[in-house]
């Protein structure tokens, strides 16, 4: 392990638990634990998986006039999602776009719900992009909006699975009242004293669950307690990747990057209707154009047989013409077979279309499939 790799606040815990540590986005991160990737994946689907995502970036936008409207308007110039209509406690998925409408990163945007602080905007960005994201924000935020990076003080974990909320709600029953893509600030009653944490009902596995942000020292205590609870197991990056792939969720640098637009990537749902006109934010013209001119789209792919199709696998039509490329692929433990995502030319993106994946020089039949591969189980209310 290279000495220059950064470490999350939970690094020593991973080592003590027997994790295999690998370099990822400049950090030493656990790719798997002794349970193994397959069992970790299935355990998350059946019970509760605990993921250290402390390598992600956490940053606050705060306007000098202490109003949400000022900060939200400034952020809206950089993302296709509507921000100014966020209510306190709401969270929204969006993307930073460049001038050409390519995706610089995808991120979560939240309006803080704490009394006296609901003018603050909280962003969570990808680890591999966060330094560039911070520079992008600093370059484009007006002088009256501060960019406050909190990576030196805040940790982030995800608790995912059908029993995740039941587990965390033991520390504060009000957490169970959250629905998908809402959040709040909560005091968590640990056996050795309470801590304060930001808790959102969200995640990147397709399962119900929460993401929790807290001070580094408080997070160590929280995770130490959570791992004593029945059904909670630590989960590494390997299973995190297979879980998000089955859930049809894009991974930056693979399924989305500066060459792709939100529309091509099937993320039109994240662009509110009044933001699709072709103006109002960086890259808006590309978004509007891609709604009209349909060249390629991200699709799910189910290969026949057992051999997985990995990233960069060529996709051909039945006449042998190249029509696209796989961007993510592997074995889906919950599906019980290989699954993949990739871009194909329109009209080959229709569900049920048969294509060939060129694996080790040989065509392997696959079917264009709807995403996700397994039903999402987000909690949207009774």
What CATH architecture does domain 11-53+153-245 belong to? Answer: 2-Layer Sandwich (3.30)
d(CA 141, CA 61): 9
Average pLDDT, the chain: 97
Confidence of residue 20 (pLDDT cuts 50, 70, 90): very high
Please compute the mean of the pLDDT values over residues 210-227 and round it to a whole number: 98
Name the residue ranges covered by the structural domains of the chain: 11-53+153-245, 295-372
Which pLDDT band holds residue 3 (cuts at 50, 70, 90)? confident
* pLDDT band of 67, cuts 50, 70, 90: very high
Residues 6+ apart with CB under 8 A from 1: 21, 23, 28
Per CATH, the homologous superfamily of domain 295-372 is: Aminomethyltransferase beta-barrel domains (2.40.30.110)
Q: pTM above 0.95?
A: yes
**Are the CB atoms for 354 and 322 separated by under 8 Å?**
no
The residues with which 51 forms a beta bridge, in sequence order, are 158
CA distance 69 to 144: 12
Task: Convert the pLDDT of each residue in 284-339 to its tens digit.
Answer: 999 999 999 999 999 999 999 999 999 999 999 999 999 999 999 999 999 999 99
180: which residues sit within 8 A by CB, 6+ positions away?
201, 202, 208, 378, 379, 380
pLDDT at 382 over 80: no
């Amino acid at each position: 392990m290279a000495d220059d790799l950064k470490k999350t606040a939970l690094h020593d815990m991973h080592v003590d638990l027997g994790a295999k540590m690998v370099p990822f986005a400049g950090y030493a991160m656990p790719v798997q634990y002794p349970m193994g990737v397959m069992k970790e994946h299935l355990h998350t689907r059946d019970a509760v998986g605990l993921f250290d995502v402390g390598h992600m970036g956490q940053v606050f936008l705060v306007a000098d006039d202490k109003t949400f409207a000022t900060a939200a308007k400034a952020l809206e110039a950089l993302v296709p999602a509507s921000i100014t209509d966020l209510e306190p406690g709401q969270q929204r998925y969006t993307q930073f776009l460049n001038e050409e409408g390519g995706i610089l990163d995808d991120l979560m945007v939240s309006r803080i719900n704490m009394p006296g602080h609901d003018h603050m905007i909280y962003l969570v960005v990808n680890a591999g992009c966060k330094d560039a994201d911070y520079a992008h924000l600093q370059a484009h935020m007006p002088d009256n909006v501060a960019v406050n990076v909190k990576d030196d003080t805040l940790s982030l974990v995800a608790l995912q699975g059908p029993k995740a909320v039941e587990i965390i709600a033991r520390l504060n029953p009000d957490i169970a009242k959250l629905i998908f893509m809402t959040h709040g600030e909560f005091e968590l009653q640990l056996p050795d004293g309470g801590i304060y944490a930001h808790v959102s009902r969200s995640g990147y596995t397709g399962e119900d669950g929460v993401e929790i942000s807290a001070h580094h020292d408080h997070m160590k205590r929280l995770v130490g307690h959570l791992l004593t609870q029945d059904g909670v197991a630590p989960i590494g990056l390997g299973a995190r990747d297979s879980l998000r792939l089955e859930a049809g969720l894009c991974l930056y640098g693979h399924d989305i990057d500066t060459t792709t637009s939100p529309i091509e990537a099937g993320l039109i749902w994240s662009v509110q209707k009044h933001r699709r006109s072709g103006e109002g934010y960086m890259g808006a013209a590309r978004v509007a154009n891609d709604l009209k001119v349909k060249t390629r789209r991200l699709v799910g792919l189910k290969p026949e047989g057992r051999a997985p199709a990995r990233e960069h696998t060529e996709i051909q039509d039945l006449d042998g013409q190249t029509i696209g490329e796989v961007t993510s692929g592997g074995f889906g433990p919950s599906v019980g077979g290989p699954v993949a995502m990739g871009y194909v030319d329109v009209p080959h993106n229709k569900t049920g279309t048969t294509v060939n994946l060129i694996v080790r020089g040989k065509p392997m039949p696959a079917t264009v499939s709807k995403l996700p591969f397994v039903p999402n189980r987000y909690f949207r209310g009774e």
